[in-house]
Amino acid sequence: MVENYLDLTIEEVYDVITNINVWPSSFTQQMKTKFLNGMINHYEQREEYEKCAKLYAIIQRLENNQSDIGCGGIEPN
């Protein structure tokens, strides 16, 4: 049961990152990359390689310092 919640949470975060492009304002480029790599590992284990590719593309844009990554911010409540 707990794994289902983890999967649902990761799916929600995936949607926010790939569709809305928002990150907490305190996340540095290094934190974003580490987080995305963790998500890639999760999706590799589930053989969801299309999602891995999309997340990898975001990492590439982060490493190239493209300013459109995480331009929005979410402040904690």
Which pLDDT tens digit goes with each residue over 2-25? Answer: 678 989 999 999 999 999 988 889
Per-residue model confidence (pLDDT) at position 67: 56
Q: What is the pTM of this model?
A: 0.79
% residues pLDDT > 90 (the chain): 65
CA–CA distance, 43 with 62 (Å, rounded to integer): 20
CA–CA distance, 63 with 45 (Å, rounded to integer): 24
Per-residue model confidence (pLDDT) at position 65: 82
pLDDT band for 47, please (50, 70, 90 cuts).
very high
Backbone angles phi, psi at 22, to 5 degrees: -125, 140
